[in-house]
Amino acid sequence: MSSPPHDVVVIGAGAAGLTASVMLARAKLRVLVVSTETRRNSCVEAVHNVPYAEGVPPAQLYGTMEETAREYGVTFVWDEVLTAEADETGVAVGTRGGARYTADRLLLATGPIDEMPPWLPEGVWGKTVFECPFCHTHEHDGKPFASVGRGLEAIGMALMSIQYATAMTAVVSDENAARTPMADRLRQAGGTVLVDEVTAADRDADGALTLYTKGGAEVAAGALLIPGVKKHNLRFVPQLGLELNERGGIGTTTLGQTSNPRVWCAGNGSGDGPYFMWTGAAASGINAARSICEDIAFGPLLDSYWDQLKKTPGGQGQKA
């Protein structure tokens, strides 16, 4: 590869990618963000649990972040990345539109992949159907809820959301899960555990669902929780030769560096830690940006820097 025009190319313009790009650009690095304009939470009506942006539509929040990034010199390309490669001289990404962009380092902020059950109607994901018991359940207070999954995950989601529900039904396919203390706790709280499988669903004009099960039951769900739809996004793993962790996600350090010395991963793309909600994903972008800046500043002295810092009385931090 020839000398690249960018210091860092960021794939993904969600919470992690945009936050990282601002921090990198503030460090006077040349940053290119390549992404589609649709983010994982673009389908929801508003962002929640973000105190400085509570109730703000995702497009408005991302638009503000993009404007900030541009003020610091970040360049945006709205296109889908199809290829990514890295060698000892740099990184390169290729897009669906046929363009190729090069840089010294690469930050993957692509987020996970959502795999919906085949019976889920169009248009309900992010409106009345969710995978998280925190982000949008409050807005459906006073409705009948259902939680659908294989076992304990669905029961756990039901327990964490039962305070909002006029009725709570956990539909689980594993009958052993229905005999656990967690299932007993749900029943004691007023919920129902149904051992069955959902095979179809209808939606009304407001997005509320009626679930139909293999055993012939009908379950009303003004709001529906479905754990387990989030899957690891491993699209670029073979191309970049990245190692996976024990959870099957991209293996990273605490600060996001992968097994490839030129590649970092931030947000829910790594799978190396807990599931990140919006602010957590943004924080992981900060960590990755910090690590990239350190790598650029210290070069081959990075490891010895941390080793010496740990030996210094009162020395702060360690390489993660």
pLDDT tens-digit readout, 102-128: 999 999 999 888 899 999 999 999 999
Q: Report the C-alpha gap between 191 and 167 in whole angstroms.
A: 7
3-class DSSP state for residue 23? helix
3-class DSSP state for residue 93? strand
pLDDT of 179 above 90: yes
pLDDT of 59 above 80: yes
Residue 33's Cβ-count burial label (10 Å; 0-12, 13-18, 19+) is buried
Strand 100-108 with 223-225, pairing: unpaired
Q: Which two tokens stand for residue 261?
A: 């010395």
pLDDT of 1 above 80: no
Report pLDDT for 41. 85
**Confidence band, pLDDT 50/70/90 cuts, at residue 43:** confident
How far is C-alpha 122 from the geometric centre of its chain's CA atoms? 21
Q: Report the C-alpha gap between 63 and 59 in whole angstroms.
A: 6
**Confidence band, pLDDT 50/70/90 cuts, at residue 319:** low
Report pLDDT for 238. 96
What pTM was estimated for this model as a whole? 0.91
Strand 192-195 with 198-203, pairing: unpaired
Report pLDDT for 301. 75
**Confidence band, pLDDT 50/70/90 cuts, at residue 52:** confident
How far is C-alpha 308 from the geometric centre of its chain's CA atoms? 35
Q: Phi and psi of 247, rounded to 5°?
A: -90, -5
